[in-house]
Structure formats: structure tokens, C-alpha cells
């Protein structure tokens, strides 16, 4: 199948081809009604119902292609945008709420090292060499003596593409900088975190000069709707006008609640979006102030 020749006529949207972000991205696209079929061993898929081509790339490369290439949209980690040094070359549209983790400085538990200044001047192994160099350059400046600086001493940053957590055990490093999600891998490797370089999550990024701005806006709106639908539910209830002010304080909605009159002129129906985590507590409080027929409805999609 000759897909390459069809790319110039389509908006290019890059998502991670594998790893911790891939499945979340596929689910997000499905929720946004972006329908595609990816053939085995192909890293390009044409969307069936929109003039979009999905490009499956390694997450570390996506920020570069969006910032410096002709890819219009991409999903990658905030850490990747920083590491590729394209922060000023892309528009960071929104945080997506998944892929949350921390980029941390880690050392062997048995090393006796507890503070970041104890690593200054030693060897650090990481796959985030740009961020690591920037982070330790600041610590070198702060903690090395003038004599050490004059002698050219500084923290040594070594790059490896994988198995970073094994570097200390295999004698390659005094410490590492790596992503920590649950901390299980870190513990198994006998490591502990002593400092956080940055906190990161998946974000939607945009080329500063997209080929089809209106389509970019449409896709952005759809994705915002999917994200909101995961965070909110729709609360529907009846309340007397005498208690309406108290009720709307409990359910202010994202913008404002929808209030509709009922046949009983002293009662109204209220619809409002509330956070999923708060819904049960809000329902209890509404019942306490006299609300009736309180119903919770799932939101599959929305526009916010």
C-alpha cells in the first residue's frame, strides 16, 4: 500500500508507537471518533472519517518532528519536549492526565548518599542527557569550590539508551537520572530517589504553523471533550427555589448549572457537571438540603 504519496493531503498527527503512552493514546483517539486501521508493520495509518494521517513514532522523537518538521499535532511527554529542546518551537495545548511520572536522580541505597550535593563531580548515567547536563551544571556551579572549577572538575553525564537502572550495579555510574512511575523498578534495582528534576505527563502539542488550523482546532476540541468526560459526570436533580442558591453552590458546574422550571412553580430541575471523585459527597449534601430525584449520569463525550 502506497501511503506516503497520500500524506501531503492530510494533517499529520504523531502518537507513540509503543510504550507506556501508546494504549492511552489509542483510547483517546477512539473517544474522539478518529477511526483508523493500522496494518501490521506499518507506522502510518490513514484515518477513515477525517483527512488525517496518524504517524507512529518513538515518543522521544515526536517533539522534534512537531517542532522542527511538518507534523501538525503530536502526543508525547513534557519531559520529551524539554529534552529535545523544542519548548519554544511547539505550542503545548493541554495536559492529558495520563503518563504521569517523575524524572528523578537515583542512587544505590547502600551508597550512603542522601543529598544531591554528594553526587556533584561524580558520574551520572541517563537517557536524558540534555536535562541531566542542565540540572547538574547548576549544581556544579553551586557546590563545587572555586579551585575545583578552575581545575575543570564537573559532574560527568554519560548517555545510555536503555537499562539505565542497571548502570550503578554494573559499575558504570555513581547515580542515574530516570523516569519513575510507581517506583517498583527503582526498588528492585536497589535504588532510591534523592531529588526530582521535573514532573511530567502526556501532553498534546501543536506545530506553530499547522497546515490545517481549522482541523487542528476541531481535533483539539474533541480531545478536550474526551478528557473532560473522563473527569466529570452529569448530576440531575429537582430542588425548591427556596433552596436553589444553596444547591448551586454545591453544583456550580464548569461554567454554570442548567436550571429549568417545573410544573410546580416553586420547584426547578438542575443539571450540572461535577467531578467524578466528588459526586457521591455532593449527592449526600444535596439530599440534606431537600433535593429530590437525584440522578448521576455518565458522560461518554462532550464539548467544553
- Does 19 score more than 90 pLDDT? no
> Regarding the domain with residue range 101-200, which homologous superfamily does it belong to in the CATH classification?
Periplasmic binding protein-like II (3.40.190.10)
pLDDT in tens, 126-146: 999 999 999 999 999 999 999
pLDDT in tens, 207-264: 999 999 999 999 999 999 999 999 999 999 999 999 999 999 999 998 899 999 998 7
**Do 4-100+201-211 and 101-200 have matching folds?**
yes
pLDDT in tens, 156-180: 999 998 889 999 999 999 999 999 9
pLDDT in tens, 177-212: 999 999 999 999 999 999 999 999 999 999 999 999
In CATH, what number does 4-100+201-211 get?
Answer: 3.40.190.10
| Cα distance between residue 164 and residue 159, in whole Å | 9
pTM of the complete model: 0.86
Angle between the N-to-C axes of helices 22-31 and 213-231, in degrees from 0 to 180, rounded to the nearest 10: 100
In CATH, what number does 232-298 get?
Answer: 3.30.70.120
Segments making up each domain of the chain, as ranges: 4-100+201-211, 101-200, 232-298
What are the distances in angstroms from CA 249 to CA 76, 246, 289, 301?
Answer: 37, 5, 12, 25
What the block records as the C-alpha cell of 246 is 444553596
| Cα distance between residue 176 and residue 179, in whole Å | 10
Pair type for strands 175-180 and 123-126? parallel
Amino acid at each position: 500500500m502506497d501511503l506516503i504519496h497520500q500524506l501531503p493531503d492530510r494533517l499529520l498527527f504523531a502518537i507513540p508507537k509503543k510504550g507506556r503512552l501508546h494504549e492511552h493514546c489509542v483510547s483517546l483517539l477512539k473517544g474522539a471518533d478518529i477511526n483508523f486501521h493500522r496494518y501490521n508493520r506499518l507506522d502510518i495509518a490513514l484515518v477513515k472519517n477525517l483527512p488525517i494521517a496518524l504517524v507512529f513514532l518513538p515518543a522521544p522523537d515526536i517533539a522534534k518532528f512537531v517542532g522542527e518538521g511538518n507534523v501538525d499535532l503530536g502526543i508525547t511527554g513534557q519531559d520529551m519536549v524539554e529534552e529535545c529542546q523544542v519548548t519554544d518551537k511547539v505550542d503545548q495545548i493541554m495536559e492529558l492526565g495520563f503518563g504521569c511520572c517523575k524524572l528523578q536522580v537515583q542512587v544505590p541505597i547502600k551508597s550512603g548518599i542522601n543529598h544531591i550535593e554528594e553526587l556533584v563531580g561524580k558520574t551520572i548515567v541517563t537517557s536524558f542527557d540534555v536535562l541531566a547536563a542542565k540540572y547538574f551544571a547548576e549544581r556544579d556551579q553551586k557546590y563545587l569550590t572555586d579551585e575545583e572549577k578552575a581545575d575543570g572538575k564537573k559532574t560527568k553525564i554519560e548517555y545510555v539508551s536503555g537499562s539505565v537502572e542497571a548502570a550503578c550495579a554494573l559499575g558504570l555510574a555513581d547515580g542515574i537520572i530516570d523516569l519513575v512511575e510507581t517506583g517498583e523498578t527503582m526498588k528492585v534495582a536497589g535504588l532510591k530517589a534523592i531529588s526530582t528534576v521535573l514532573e511530567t505527563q502526556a501532553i498534546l502539542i501543536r506545530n506553530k504553523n499547522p497546515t490545517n488550523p481549522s482541523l487542528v482546532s476541531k481535533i483539539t476540541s474533541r480531545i478536550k471533550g474526551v478528557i473532560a468526560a473522563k473527569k466529570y459526570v452529569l448530576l440531575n436533580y429537582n430542588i425548591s427555589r427556596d433552596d436553589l442558591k444553596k444547591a448551586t453552590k454545591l453544583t456550580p458546574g464548569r461554567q454554570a448549572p442548567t436550571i429549568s422550571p417545573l410544573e410546580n412553580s416553586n420547584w426547578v430541575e438542575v443539571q450540572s457537571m461535577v467531578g467524578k471523585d466528588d459526586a457521591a459527597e455532593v449527592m449526600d449534601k444535596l439530599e440534606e438540603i431537600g433535593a429530590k430525584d437525584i440522578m448521576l449520569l455518565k458522560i461518554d463525550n462532550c464539548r467544553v
